[in-house]
Structure 1
Amino acid sequence: MEVKIGVQHTPRELVVDTSDSAEDVEKTLSDAVTSGGVFTLTDAKGRKVIVPAAKIAYVEVGGGVAGQVGFRS
């Protein structure tokens, strides 16, 4: 599933391809915003993306990455 994260005062968004469900992403985001902590996602390759919840402008949860061209590892 593709997740796009907009960060305040940053012209580019972060794009994370994760195996988490939309409900899991939403719950993680809600918990981070409520506690004032950090929003953490793990991508398909096991890398972590950590964003301070206070700096998140928006989060867009997509259906997935379709039509990719090229080699994948």
Structure 2
Amino acid sequence: MYDTPIVIRKCEDFLLRKSKKTLKKKLQMSTRYHLEALTKKCLSEIKTPTDLKSVIPGDIHDLDPSIMAELFQKSLTLH
């Protein structure tokens, strides 16, 4: 809303270190607000097919194309 770098950085830091939100929710927020470090962390936490399934939204069209590509690449390494 305010688009101030300090506030955005503090929010991202909170999400990276202390937030109890689900991996799916964090990944959604990371793409919506362009939080690159959070996106990388979320993607690194996907280690099993179950983790992968947990982050996919009900409607695949709701997924950001760049994240979809990352998740597809990740799925290839999980099998």
Q: TM-score, normalised by structure 2?
A: 0.27
Structure with more strand by fraction: 1
Q: Point out which structure has higher relative CO (alpha carbons under 8 A, 6+ apart).
A: 1
More helix by share: 2
TM-score of the two chains, using structure 1 as the length reference = 0.29
